[in-house]
Amino acid sequence: MNKKFSKKLDKLAFRIINMLKEKNDAYGNSALEPANIFGDLSAAQALCARIDDKLMRIKNRGITDQTEDTVDDLIGYLFLLRMALEEEERIM
């Protein structure tokens, strides 16, 4: 096992996971339990819409110092999408 790679990967994953936990504390569990005030999307559908928004931002603005957080957000949304899909599979 490449220890340098593993250490970098762990550090990145820890940062993304902490970001998700902080946002969950701030917004409640809205990513996996959407309020659906203005729509009736499942959690997975709503997350896909957010992922589309992040990808469009990257497409339009590229990845720069000013948009670098978009990459972290995208990684986080993909984690949440995986969680939502697993929850939907469990329910079905």
Place of tokens 């990845």: 63
Distance, in Å, from the CA atom of 80 to the CA atom of 66, rounded to the nearest integer, reads: 24
Tell me the pLDDT tens digit for each residue of 49-91: 999 999 999 999 999 888 789 999 999 999 999 999 999 888 7
Question: Which pair of tokens denotes residue 6?
Answer: 């593993």
Distance, in Å, from the CA atom of 6 to the CA atom of 9, rounded to the nearest integer, reads: 5
| pTM of the full structure | 0.88
Tell me the pLDDT tens digit for each residue of 72-83: 999 999 999 999
Return the domain boundaries, the chain. Answer: 3-31+39-91
Tell me the longest C-alpha to C-alpha distance in the chain. 48
Distance, in Å, from the CA atom of 50 to the CA atom of 74, rounded to the nearest integer, reads: 8
